[in-house]
Amino acid sequence: MPRLAYVNGRYLPHRQGAVHIEDRGFQFADGVYEVVPVYQGSLIDEEPHLDRLERSLRELRIPMPAGRATLKLIARELIRRNDLRTGLVYMQVTRGTAPREHSFPAKVSPTLVMTTRQTKPHREALLRDGVSVITAPDIRWRRCDIKSVALLANVLVKQKAVEAGAYEAWQVDDQGRVTEGSSTNAWIVTNENMVVTRDASQAILNGITRLSLLKVIRAAGYEFAERPFTVAEAKSAREAFLTSSTSYVMPVTRIDGAPIGDGRPGALTMALRQNYMAYMADRQEAAAGQDA
């Protein structure tokens, strides 16, 4: 059974999925996306992901391509047809197709694409040893809160990380403070055991994993603060980690080559990863119950 993609109303073999050469996503990056994790066949945190999709679209004045119920249906249909157990659903919405002109076209309807991807469990070595990150200037625009497909700066900084043998790059603002990774949010644990991640503003994407982990942290009673931290503070922190819909909670053990803490994944980080995995299992059960 070939993997299917959804493109503007049709389910097509993934390789045949295509949009028009004058799609504004292709020409102007005039669109947004979401990556929703799928765990054991169920969408995790689907509502907050759809909330963020709606918000991103609203900020760009692109209408929703379909009602929320329809989007949910398409996602479920793709998961079912692609027999997806664990991985992600990728959703992309652009302003649509029109003759190339920077201003919004008068008559245009949004393009909607959905695909799925199966992911492998995280390699054991990543969790045993942690991952390394490099730091680099944040050269992005000033609306990083919008999950735009304009990801060129993220692409370039991630490539820098890969070429340095690192897992991720933490981007740094003009005041030497970490904003976020190329596709992940950045966290540290201070020597006082305070969990710190940058506050949600236009400088970062407010990760859904970030939001869910904050809930988990609150429920477990850990001390936390949402505030910026500098690269220097991160390098002298007790622990560090990153979060996203595909990395979940991933221990960071090196920043620019310098070991964090004792250079091993932190105890609190690994407890939070475990708590987060339990949260996903819990959400999975609830979602499976609702869909049944």
Least distance in Å: CB of 279 to ligand PDD?
13
Half-sphere exposure of 290 (CA within 13 A, CB side): 13
Render the burial of 70-91: b for 16+ CB within 10 Å, e for the rest.
ebbebbbebbeebebebbbbbb
What is the nearest approach in angstroms of ligand PDD to the Cβ of residue 179? 9
Q: Per rule CB under 6 A, is residue 209 in the interface with ligand PDD?
A: yes
Using the minimum distance from each CB to ligand PDD, give the nearer residue, 181 or 261. 181
> Residue 111 or 183: which CB sits closer to ligand PDD?
183
In the numeric block, which tokens belong to residue 9? 């109303």
# residues contacting ligand PDD (CB under 6 A):
15
Residue of 8, 236, 246, 275 interacting with ligand PDD (CB under 6 A) = 246
Nearer to ligand PDD, 98 or 131 (CB): 131
Residue from 56, 15, 4, 18 nearest 206 by CA: 56
Regarding 74 and contact with ligand PDD (CB under 6 A), the answer is no
Residues 196, 269 contacting (CB under 8 angstroms): no
Rounded Cα gap, residues 64 and 110, in angstroms: 8
Contact between 35 and ligand PDD by CB under 6 A: the answer reads yes
Is 86 near ligand PDD (CB under 6 A)?
A: no
Judged by beta carbon, residue 108 or residue 146, the one nearer ligand PDD is: 146
Residues in 160-179 at the binding interface with ligand PDD, rule: CB under 6 A: none
User: Is 235 a known active-site residue?
Assistant: no
In the complex with ligand PDD, the residue whose CB is nearer, 77 or 145, is 145
Using the rule CB under 6 A, is 56 a contact of ligand PDD? Answer: no
Q: With binding defined as CB under 6 A, does residue 180 bind ligand PDD?
A: yes
Nearest approach, Cβ of residue 178 and ligand PDD (Å): 12
Catalytic option among 72, 120, 147, 235: 147
Residues 112-171 close enough to bind ligand PDD by CB under 6 A: 154
Among the residue ranges 10-18, 95-103, 125-133, 205-213, the one whose residues contact ligand PDD (CB under 6 A)? 205-213
- Is 185 near ligand PDD (CB under 6 A)? yes
Give the residue, chosen from 95, 158, 198, 210, that forms a contact with ligand PDD under the rule CB under 6 A.
Answer: 210
Q: Which residues, listed in sequence order, are joined to residue 49 by a DSSP beta bridge?
A: none
The residues annotated as belonging to the active site are 147
Site for ligand PDD, rule CB under 6 A:
35, 154, 180, 183-185, 205, 207-210, 243-246
